[in-house]
């Protein structure tokens, strides 16, 4: 089964609330990724917040800024779906 992401909401603490088409909501903590070289650009909180999007039907960061799915940093949607259900975070 494919789990398509329909909305992502990033927060300055490097957490992202991920909403799936079936209504499931998970909270993904991206902070551990920042230690990996490929994710280093996301250490800049502004870039983390502004480039967070949906590409390839999953949570992604559009580092290049041109919405090219081949140049994005994306997270496996099945892995995201396996995270514990979260309660929607209210600002």
pLDDT tens track for 1-38: 789 999 999 999 999 999 999 999 999 999 999 999 99
pLDDT at 88 > cutoff 90 = no
pLDDT of residue 78: 95
Q: Has residue 15 been placed in a domain?
A: yes
Q: Where are the beta strands (DSSP E) in 30-84?
A: 52-55, 58-61, 73-74
Per-residue pLDDT of 65-79, as tens digits, reads 898 888 899 999 999
Provide the number of structural domains found in the chain: 1
CATH number of the domain that residue 30 is part of: 3.30.2020
* Nearest partner of 57 among 69, 39, 45, 41, judged by Cα: 69
The reply to whether 76 falls in a domain is yes
pLDDT one-digit tens code per residue, 31-50: 999 999 999 999 999 999 99
| Residue 81 burial (CB count, 10 A) | 18
pLDDT score recorded for residue 91: 59
Which range marks the domain in which residue 11 is found?
5-81
């Amino acid at each position: 089964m494919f789990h398509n992401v329909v909305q992502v909401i990033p927060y300055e603490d490097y957490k992202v609330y991920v909403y799936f088409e079936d209504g499931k909501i998970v909270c993904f903590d991206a902070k551990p990724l920042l230690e990996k070289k490929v994710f280093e650009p996301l250490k800049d909180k502004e870039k983390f917040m502004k480039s967070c999007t949906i590409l390839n039907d999953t949570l992604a960061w559009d580092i290049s800024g041109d919405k090219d799915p081949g140049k994005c940093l994306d997270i496996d949607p099945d892995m995201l779906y396996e995270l514990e259900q979260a309660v929607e975070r209210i600002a």
